[in-house]
Amino acid sequence: MWFLRINMKDRTHQLTEVPEKYKKLAGRSLTSNLIADEVPPLAHPLGPNNKLVFSPGFVTGTSAPSSSRISVGGKSPLTGGIKESNAGTPWAWKLGRMRIKALIVEGQPEDKGEFWGLVIGLDKETGQPTLEWFDATEFTGQDAYDVYPMVFKKFEGRRVSVCGIGMASEHAYGNAGVIFEDMSQNPSRFAGRGGLGSVMGSKGLKFILLDDAGAPGVEIADKELFDEGRKKLAAALNEHAITKPKGGLNTYGTAVLVNILNEAGGLPTRNFSRGRFENAAKIAGEAIFDGVKERLGEERYNHACSPGCIIRCSNTWYRKDKSEHVSCVEYESDWAFGANLEIDDLDTISELVKLCNGYGLDTIETGVTLGVAMEAGVLPFGDGEAAIEMVHKMGKGEPIGRILGSGTGTAGKILGVVRTPAVKGQGMPAYEPRAVKGIGITYATSTMGADHTAGYTIAPEILAVMDDLDPLSKEGKIALSRAFQATTAFIDTSGHCLFIAFAILDIASGYQGMIDEVNGVLGTKWTADDILELGTEVLRVERKFNEAAGIGKQADRIPEFMHTEPLPPHNVVFEIDEETLDKVYGEL
Amino acid sequence: MRVRVKLFATLGMYAPGGESAKPFVMEVDQGTRLNALLDKLDIPEESVRVKFVNGRARKWDYVLEPDDEVGLFPPIGGG
């Protein structure tokens, strides 16, 4: 296993064995520990002292189901704190198979206009990673949907996977994702949140290509245990109604959540001013499934974003002429451009998703920032054409576009909007804290800023997965959010997609299967308590970094308007006080 | 009395028009419990995971009131 360090100051590199300290870490636990150990907490996120770390999870690159995740870590230009953002992509699978445990990008070129592409391959004789550089300047200033085919063409005949950045990152926005390819070589799988694309851009790095020819695959210490584990997990995923083939996610995609959040009165609408959108059904996962069926004349089930996925939740939207419009219209994107902006047209929403992918913008941050801009009167609510035009302005770096590209928190300040739904500067995802208390606690306290995936209490609060809790009650939610945040930190370390949680929280043998897989790979004897402790320790490390960066408990707060403005239809406020919120990390 | 019902995702097949999320009205007796709708609509109980009445998740023994809005969901997830 390798640590590969790239210094962008002079494009030199250093290849070492994995230091002892980091051998039992991977994915998020590794990116966060490396950032905490090596990046000064007060470093400027876009300066030479920040680092960008890529790490596949423990089982990424193996035959473990739904495990092709890549963690990307750094100090975030959006939140000013530590950031881990992850994506499912063939690129992750390859990095795992090439036995590169961490790819650490350091330094930056003295000339700000330089953009480089890097191809990492393997030496046929020694098996060691090799590096080739190419001048990527010619690929800047263009849509990723135009650029990616050119890059694949340039390396025709080689089995390369592409990670890159778009124009948003070239403009150094707080809203800029790292773009990975999907299974059809589209630039559509994002480590989207927190502006890590701009960290990559600040280093003059436009692409990292992986050529995994001759890759040895992941070393597995105890193959028998690993196989036992992956079979248990696969059985759980194949059995559970949400994750099984032709189940909820495979049929309707993640946007199946639109109707249930709307029914619960927790679907943020019109920039978080209501909990219900009267046209929710028109943009829901069911409408996507039916709309595709109508346009293509046949039912289409969803596909995988990356190799080895059983869940296969990625949908595709088609135009009236049956041509492919975009993949994938996720719940978050669908909501951010739909209910949040009062847009009820799937063609418009799909176009907005595609523009974000092409420019390298995070769809959540973009939609939430547009909601704030609409609140400020920069453009009208419900106006799809104006929204499309505004995203072009963001991508092209026009002055108003640069303001919006700075992210929800900053844009809200510049535009003077009180109703700015952000925590630590990061725009809130698609669940209303006032109507779903547990997720509000996660948004407030997560080391990542407002992030639903950091502790997805929606499972027991809305979906009746694992438990059946009242979303409007704050009872027991502090402990719930804390437990979910710790468990998630481990899942993000294992290399699995977070969606395995739906199956393994309900089916105990699936949960054990995940643990067996990891023990099989590492040769460890970790128990369920041990992995929870590992996850908790990741949170402690992240928290410590944030505090040293000046982001302490005073930043663990829900915006004031949510404490004072009752949210229809339940007419509730977020009533959890500061002292109670502080218990999440105070008692970690 | 009348209640308004919506069946979501795969449960849409049990709706009168076979459509998901489309509201329809049902006539039920006073004192009818939520689970009585299952028989009337021919929905197997195990295929329903979340039961909303007026935006609040309820149990099967919930006693319906006039003009209640019921929303039934199969197991679903996303993120």
Q: What is the DSSP string of A183-222?
A: TTS-S-EEE-TTSHHHHHHHTTEEEEEEE-TT------S-
Whats the size of chain A, residue-wise? 588
Number of H helices, E strands in chain B: 1, 5
Q: What is the 3-state secondary structure (H, E, C) of A473-530?
A: CCCCHHHHHHHHHHHHHHHHHHCCCCCHHHHHCCCHHHHHHHHHHHHHHHCCCCCHHH
- Residue B56 in any domain: the answer is yes
Q: Kindly list the residues of chain B whose beta carbon comes within 8 Å of any beta carbon in chain A.
A: 6, 8-10, 12, 20-22, 49-50, 52, 55-57, 71, 73-79
Q: Which residues have a Cβ under 8 Å from the Cβ of A252 and sit 6 or more positions away? A: A284, A285, A286, A288, A289, A315, B9, B76
Burial of A133 from C-beta contacts in 10 A (0-12 / 13-18 / 19+):
exposed
- Kindly state the DSSP code that residue A359 receives in the 8-state scheme: H
A residues 221-260 near B, CB within 8 Å?
Answer: 240-243, 247-249, 251-257, 259-260
Which of A247, A255, A259 lies nearest to residue B8, judging by beta carbons?
A259
Tokens 């502080």, residue?
Answer: A582
H-helix or E-strand spanning residue A148: helix A144-154
| Mean pLDDT to the nearest integer, A106-134 | 95
Q: Greater confidence, A388 or B79?
A: A388
Q: How far is Cα of residue A446 from the mean position of the Cα atoms in its chain?
A: 14
In a domain, B79, yes or no: no
pLDDT at A112: 80
- Could you tell me if A464 lies within 8 Å of chain B, comparing CB atoms? yes
Percent of chain A at pLDDT > 90 equals 99
Span B52-72, average pLDDT = 97
A96: closest CA of chain B, how far (Å) = 25
Domain residue spans of chain A: 2-211, 255-420
Q: Please report whether residue B21 resides in a domain.
A: yes
Q: How far is it, in rounded angstroms, from Cα A193 to Cα A174? A: 9
A260 contact residues in B (CB cutoff 8 A)? 8, 50, 73, 76
pLDDT band at A516 (very low <50, low <70, confident <90, very high): very high
Closest partner residue to A242 among B55, B56, B75, by Cβ?
B75
Q: Which residues of A touch B49 (CB under 8 A)?
A: 241, 463-464
The answer to whether A4 and A129 have CB atoms below 8 angstroms apart is yes
**Long-range pairs of A320-324 with CB within 8 A, sequence gap ≥ 24:** A320/A295, A322/A295, A322/A296
Going by C-beta distance under 8 Å and a sequence separation of 6 or more, which residues neighbour residue A581? A441, A444, A445, A478, A553, A556, A557
CA atoms within 13 A on the CB side of A105: 29
Task: Give me the phi and psi of A582, to 5 degrees please.
Answer: -65, -15
Name residue A59's amino acid. Answer: V
Q: Grade residue A207 by pLDDT with cuts at 50, 70 and 90.
A: very high
Nearest-CA distance B58 → chain A (Å): 9
Q: What is the pLDDT of residue A538?
A: 98
Instruction: Pick B73's closest partner by Cβ from A260, A471, A502.
Output: A260
Domain membership flag for residue B8:
yes
CATH of the domain at B46: 3.10.20.30
Peptide bond just before B66 cis, omega within 30 deg: no
CATH topology of domain A255-420: 1.10.569
A63 Cβ partners below 8 Å, 6+ apart?
A230, A308
Among residues A280, A556, A558, A554, which one has the least CA distance to residue A419? A558
Partner residues linked to A88 by β-bridges: A69
Q: What percent of chain A has pLDDT over 70?
A: 100
Nearest CA in chain B to A453: B79
Strands laid side by side in the A129-135 sheet:
A129-135, A116-122, A205-211, A160-164, A178-180, A189-191
Q: Does residue A248 surpass a pLDDT of 90?
A: yes
Domain that holds residue B10: 2-73
- What is the model's pLDDT at position A359? 98
Nearest by CB to B79, from A254, A259, A464: name it: A254
User: Counting beta carbons within 10 angstroms of the beta carbon of residue A153, is it exposed (0 to 12), middle (13 to 18) or buried (19 or more)?
Assistant: exposed
What phi, psi does A111 have (nearest 5°)? -85, 115
CB atoms near residue A143 (< 10 Å): 17
Q: How many structural domains compose chain B?
A: 1
Predicted pLDDT of residue A553: 96
| Residue A131 to residue A144: CA distance in whole angstroms | 23
Q: List the one residue out of A202, A392, A436 whose CA is nearest residue B56.
A: A436
Contacting residues of A for B79, CB less than 8 Å apart: 254, 257, 331-332, 452-453, 456, 458, 498-499
Is residue B79 over pLDDT 90?
no
Both tokens of residue A402?
């640069």
Residues of B whose CB is below 8 A from A286: 8-9, 12, 20-21
Is A467's pLDDT higher than 90?
Answer: yes
Question: Which residues on A lie below 8 Å from B57 (Cβ)?
Answer: 264, 462, 464, 468, 470-471
Question: Which residue among A248, A264, A331 places its CB closest to the CB of B9?
Answer: A248
Provide the mean pLDDT of chain A: 98
Residue A467 Rama label (left phi>0; alpha psi -120 to 50; beta): beta
* Residue A112 vs residue A561, higher pLDDT: A561
HEC sequence for A228-285? HHHHHHHHHHHHCCCCCCCCHHHHHCHHHHHHHHHHCCCCCECCCCECCCCCHHHHCH
Does position A335 have pLDDT exceeding 90, yes or no?
A: yes
Beta carbons of A260 and B20 less than 8 Å apart: no
Position A97 pLDDT exceeds 90:
yes
A569 contacts B49? CB cut-off 8 A: no
Q: How many residues does chain B have?
A: 79
Find the mean pLDDT for residues A545-558: 98
Cβ distance of A248 and B50 shorter than 8 Å = no
Burial of A371 (0-12, 13-18, 19+ CB in 10 A): buried
Give yes or no for residue A463 having a pLDDT over 90. yes
Angle between helices A346-359 and A363-375 (to 10 degrees): 120
A406 touching chain B per CB within 8 A: no
Q: What is the pLDDT of residue A111?
A: 84
Phi-psi region of A342 (alpha: psi -120 to 50; beta: other; left: phi over 0): left
| The predicted structure's pLDDT at residue B64 | 98
Average pLDDT over residues A151-166: 97
Contact B8 A242 (CB under 8 A): no
First-residue to last-residue Cα distance in chain A: 32
pLDDT tens track for A497-510: 999 999 999 999 99
Residue B17, in any domain of the structure: yes
Residue A529 confidence (pLDDT) above 90: yes
pLDDT band at residue A113 using 50, 70 and 90 as cut-offs: confident
> In this model, does residue A255 exceed pLDDT 90?
yes
Report the alpha-carbon distance of residue A81 to residue A196 in Å, rounded.
Answer: 12
Nearest CA to A506 among A452, A453, A463? Answer: A463
Q: Domain A2-211 has what CATH class?
A: alpha beta
Dihedral angle sign, alpha carbons of residues A380, A384, A387, A389: negative
Cα dihedral B29, B35, B36, B42, rounded to 10, equals 140
Instruction: Give the model's pLDDT for residue B6.
Output: 98
| Predicted confidence (pLDDT) at residue B66 exceeds the cutoff of 90 | yes
Q: Would you call A257 and B76 a contact, using CB atoms and an 8 Å cutoff?
A: yes
The tokens of A340 are what? 């949040």
Q: Does a structural domain hold residue B78?
A: no
As a whole number of angstroms, the distance between CA A371 and CA A380 comes to 9
Nearest one of A463, A196, A47 to A471, comparing CA atoms? A463
